[in-house]
Structure formats: C-alpha cells, structure tokens
Structure 1
C-alpha cells in the first residue's frame, strides 16, 4: 500500500463546521460523537483529527494511557473507501509505534466493520455505555417507576419558589459561579479528573454561542443554583453535556432535568445522559431514572 502522510490537526473552535458535516452523515446516538464533546475535552484527551478519503478520523494520544482512535466518521455506504481509511489509520499508528486500537465503537459501527471482511477482535466497554431515556418519560415523570423523582420535585416545590431561564450571554457568569461552587464543594484541586472537568466546562461556557448550544438556569428563591446544557445529537436524540446544581437543595437535580426536557426538548424522542464511567454511585443514579436502552460501545483491534 502506498504510504500516505496524514495531515493531523488539533481542534479549534473554527473546526465546528467540518465536524458537523461528517457527524450529520453518520447520525449516531453516541454521546462522544459531537463537536462540543471533542472541543471541550480536547486538552485532557489530547484530541487531534485528520480527514482521510473524506472520512473524519479522530485520535486521542494522552501522555498516560493507550493512544486510540474513534471509528472513522462519514458516509458508511462508501465501503471501499472506509476499508482503505482503516488500513491507512492502522499504518499511521504502526509508524508511530502504537497498537491500532479503536474505542467507543458503537454497535452500529461494529456491524459496519463486520461487512468489510476484516479480521478484528472486540470487547464490551460497559463503563462507557450511554444511558438513553425517553424524553416523554423524563419530561413528565409519569408512571410508577418514577414516583420517587416526582416526590423529590414536589417536596422541592413546597419548600422553594423557582424561576426557569434560558441561558444567554447575559447569564453565563451565573453558570460559571454555580460551576465554581460545585467544584469547591468537591475539593476539585485535589482531583486531576475534577480539574479537567472544570476546565472542560469553562471552555464550553466561554464558547457557548459559537457551539450553538441550548441551556437553562434554575433560580431558587431568586438565586441561581443550577444550570444544564445540551444539544441535538442525532435526528431523534438530545445529549446533555453539563448538569450542575447545589446538591444541598433537595430535589434540584430532578427538577432541572425534568424542566429542561419539558421546556426545550419535547420535540425529541430520546435523551442521552452519557455514561457512568464505572462509578457505583453514578451508575445507581442513572439506573434510577429507568433508561429506555443503552448505547453500547466496544473497544476494537484489527488483527
């Protein structure tokens, strides 16, 4: 095979149009596969990208950890070009002295890989499964399984008054203040992951309008106490990027979750609330909202 030198670029805010064009072609429900996610986590995961055979190839080369790439993103009907792209990416990894590993590969992408006639092995990545919920269910909290969530919200409403506001440039400072208090409550300076999360969230807030996001703030008794931000992920699914609230106010998290979907996303069928990262408490919390299904993901290596 002829050696192809890849033009590898770091992500900047100006790349949104490029990413969006390819991501619309694939129409996947995977939480990572949107420009906002790649942009806000670009420094932590050391994200770079290259366009190969009109497929978007995204790589992560962290200082610690195994270099990996995402499954190429583009028009999956172009089977021959996709197969060639995978070979080129494998060759690039070999030239760098890395094992060719693809992570966060969805079930849909895995089935496409199976049609290419390539030898590969795959392993389930349960900690990174996305939780997919019915927007109708979480926006109304109807049904016995969500009794507890309704009760939390009803208790909140008895104790407090609240206002719901869409996020605009004028209240971004309120979001930053809520975020900072959330981080301080968790002693973020003692945790590398929380330091990275704080920076990713600030990068998103500082580029809120350029990223074309939707968000909301909840004021409790006149004071901003929670905010959430999301965007359309696929043709029928919204993804929630950030949800931060004062945990000392009982029922505030269920309230902002329900209000955001009811006010701004009722036209969508599903909401992707991302993964639990294998954290026991987070897994329990996400399961308590009665997910409709999971977006399964796999780690793949070509033979």
Structure 2
C-alpha cells in the first residue's frame, strides 16, 4: 500500500526514510517514554501499515489495522499547534473508520496531556476539553537509575547479585560481544524460537494461546530490527556460552539523559543469564550514551513481567494514556 488520502488529507507511508523527519520533531520534545522514538514504532509495525502526515505543523503518526485508522502517538509539535492538530487527526480517523469508536490516540505521556486538553489561545480548564474527549490511563513505563542497575547495592538487590554470581561461577567462559546484525542474525532468530518454545511449555493452555497471538508481531519486530539495525543506529550486545548464543539485547537513546531497552531475550535454561546481561547492557548504555536513566518499557499487562520489573526498584513509573472521543 502506498500513500493514503482520507478526508482530503494525504497520509504518506511510514518507512525507514521517515526517520529524519520524525526525529526532527522528537528532538524538540521533552519525553522519557520508550514509545517516543522512530525505531520503537518502526520495528513493531507488523500486521499493520504505518502512515504519517504533517498536520498543523505537527508530526502525526497513524496505523491502519483491519481497515481502522488509529494513532500510535499524539501529534508531535509545539504546544500551540497541538490542540488543532489533534482535532484534525480525529476528523481524519473518523472519516476513514467504520465507527468513531475505533478512533483513538495511544501512548500519550501524562506530562503532555495539558497540550491536548487546553486551548491553544486560551488558558482554559482541562475539563472543558474533556467534554469532548475521554482520557484513559493505560500501562506505565519502568524507569531506573542506571547506577542502581549496575551496582545492585543493598538488601533489595541481594537476590540479583546472587543470581549473577551463580551465573559467573557456572559459566566462567562466557563471551560478550557487541551485536553485529550480519554476524548474529541467524543465531538471534534461533534463540528467539527456542525462547518461544520454552515459554509455552510452562504456560497454562489458555494463557499460551494469548501469548502465541502476539508472537508473530514480536518475531517480525526482531527481523525488522536486525534488517535495519545500522540504519536505526541501535546498540546491542550478545552473550555466548560454550560457543552458542544464549542471550541478546538491543536499546537506544530516548532523550539526553535516558536510554531504553527495546528487547531482551535469554535462554531460560541458563540461570542468571537474564540478570547478568541486563547489568552488562546497563553498563554499555551508560558508557555509550552517558545517560543517568534506563527505561525498560511497560509490562504489557503481564503480572509476571510486572513483578520482575518492580523487583529492580524503579526510580519512577511513567503513565501512558489513550485519548478517545465521547
């Protein structure tokens, strides 16, 4: 599918060549959500088609899924332009969609909400705009102090230190390498397939069915990440044990003081590998980007993932909201 015209508004295809355009708008914002990067949106578009338009001097990112148009992010631009851009975006979505029910704006950072619910010309109360829109809190991003993830000091990190020490004692010949997409691509996909198989083994049948529904998208995301690794300017590492790749992780910078972990996978059978690679990658992110914080994204609503991310004692939780129409 090429470009798309809806309600006289031309939407251009969201491709790797959109990167400098989107990043020129992102560079002017102060956000620390993991969703606010080009790579995070580009690699996760699997069974959907991404489109963008510059509306009221704001970058607007849409996604078409099953014929319905939604927004992956709020309009990105100056505060004075945001309100009218949002209104126009809803007009575009409504003109395309089978029902206004499907029109929505996802992944709105809490600190940006005033930009959407206050008039550009008047200091109106946020509640006036809420007469037309519903703001619903969704998931939260987990943000950590990078030094805390590296040092793992104190009783609360005792278990993490123990797991890492056991790993290093059990696998003293481990080898860490900087991720090279050409060299490591086949081994990364092999590990991912093993990871999926191992996960399903220990899941209840009904939970496994839900889990597998999302695997196609994640597999596509990893393939996109590998294919466009250099163009996306990502940073990653892999770990070998006895000559086999047993873990990989990839991240990037979000803002001047925050980096993000986009994806991480390790072999379940290698105890302590996940904790070890997370610590080592935290070191790499700090050294490469000189950041103070690391955002590891949300928990996708999975209770086990929430427990793991909370166990690392987040510095803060950053809420994400979705805007609907009434």
Structure 2: gaps spanning 5 or more residues: 1-5, 202-207
Counterpart residue number, 2:299: 276
State whether residues 76 and 82 of structure 2, in contact with CA within 8 Å, keep that contact through their aligned partners in structure 1: no
The Cα of 1:96 is off from its aligned counterpart by: 2.1
- Corresponding residue for 2:146? 135
Correspondence 1:25 to 2:28: yes
Shift of 1:64: 8.4
Structure 1: tracts of 5 or more residues without a match: none
Instruction: Decide whether the 8 Å contact of 1:236 with 1:268 is kept in 2.
Output: yes
8 Å CA contact 1:131, 1:293 repeated in 2: yes
Q: CA deviation at 1:71?
A: 1.1
2:58, 2:77 within 8 Å by CA — same for their partners in 1?
Answer: yes
Q: 1: distance between equivalents of 2:252 and 2:136? A: 29
TM-score, normalising length from structure 1? 0.90
Q: Which residue of 1 aligns with 2:91?
A: 91
Could you give the per-residue CA deviations for residues 187-215 of structure 1, whole angstroms, max 9, x where no partner exists? 59962211211111111111111111000
Computed over aligned residues only, the root mean square deviation of the Cα atoms, in angstroms, reads 2.3
Q: What's the CA shift for 1:107?
A: 0.9
Structure 2 CA distance for aligned equivalents of residues 130 and 10 of structure 1: 28
Q: Distance in 2 between matches of 1:131 and 1:183?
A: 24
Greater mean deviation of Cα atoms: 198-207 or 88-97: 88-97
The whole-number CA distance in structure 1 between the counterparts of 2:69 and 2:311 is 33
Give the alignment partner of residue 106 of structure 2, picking from 98, 103, 120.
103
Whole-angstrom distance in 1 between the partners of 2:297 and 2:114: 22
Mapping 1:223-302, distance limit 5 Å: 223-266=244-287, 267-302=290-325
* Per-residue CA distance 1:261-298 (angstroms, 9 max, x = gap): 11332421111111111111111111111111111111
Query: 1:29 Cα deviation (Å)?
Result: 1.0
Q: SS of the counterpart of 1:32?
A: coil
Following TM superposition, by how much is the alpha carbon of 1:222 offset from its aligned partner in structure 2, in angstroms? 3.2
* Alpha-carbon offset, residue 105 of structure 1: 0.9
> Residues 198-213 of structure 1: matches in 2 within 5 Å?
198-213=219-234
Checking the alignment, whether the CA contact within 8 Å between 2:118 and 2:129 is kept in structure 1 is: no
Displacement of 1:69 in angstroms is 4.8
TM-score norm. by structure 2 comes to 0.84
